A and B are shown apart, each in its own frame.
Chain A
Amino acid sequence: NAGVTQTPKFQVLKTGQSMTLQCAQDMNHEYMSWYRQDPGMGLRLIHYSVGAGITDQGEVPNGYNVSRSTTEDFPLRLLSAAPSQTSVYFCASSYSRLGGNSPLHFGNGTRLTVT
């Protein structure tokens, strides 16, 4: 099993450009989510999904879109990149949507720089 796979590992964008961060898991996990990690702020939840076709906003959703057309994939779209979106992005999945029933498995992260 590959676990949670994120692509790309690194990306540089110019302000105003759009892009999609890819996330795929091969564990048949029901729950998937996106976090961003910024210095001194820990990880903050952007969007999450409790199953195919169902998504919801987390703590910092502005400027990001998600969709969940399959169980395996949960892409994160930046509509118009801004320097404030410079961050490390982590995708995570878990077997259960229920809090604490199963720990989150994280991908290796995507380091995004917006100039």
Chain B
Amino acid sequence: AQKVTQAQTEISVVEKEDVTLDCVYETRDTTYYLFWYKQPPSGELVFLIRRNSFDEQNEISGRYSWNFQKSTSSFNFTITASQVVDSAVYFCALSETGGGNKLTFGTGTQLKVEL
């Protein structure tokens, strides 16, 4: 069975600090997809990134970057120079190829960015 673990329940940082959100996954499939979603205080879920298991290249999008390491089954998310608007709950999720588009979510990390 697949599983996603986000061990950090809540993180508080001061604006402009860098912060890394951890995600560790378990799967028996060799082909799978990893996702990050953001849930701001308004409650909607916003897709951030999708990564397939064959692509271990790190990705950078503005202040966001993702580090995918199959050797440690991790898909960590770093926000550089955090801003108050980054305050949200961030979810990591996994889907297996044979499982359709069914996502297994982690329990989420609440990020609070303070002035």
Contact = CB atoms under 8 A, between A and B. Distances in A.
Interface string B33-47: 101010000011101
Q: Which of B37, B52, B96, B102: most chain A Cβ within 10 A?
A: B102
A48 interface: yes
Interface stretch (B13-21, B57-65, B78-86, B104-112): B104-112
Contacts, number: 70
Interface residues of B, number: 28
B100 A106 contact: no
Interface in A64-115: 88, 90, 92, 94, 96-106, 108-109
A98 B101 contact: yes
A60 interface: no
A58 B95 CA distance: 13
Contact of B103 (A45, A50, A98, A109): A45
Contacts of B98: 99
A112 to B, nearest CB: 13
A71 to B, nearest CB: 15
B75 interface: no
Given A48-B101, A97-B101, A104-B101, 12 more contacts: A33-B102, A42-B91, A42-B107, A94-B101, A99-B95, A99-B97, A99-B101, A100-B32, A102-B101, A103-B47, A104-B103, A105-B47
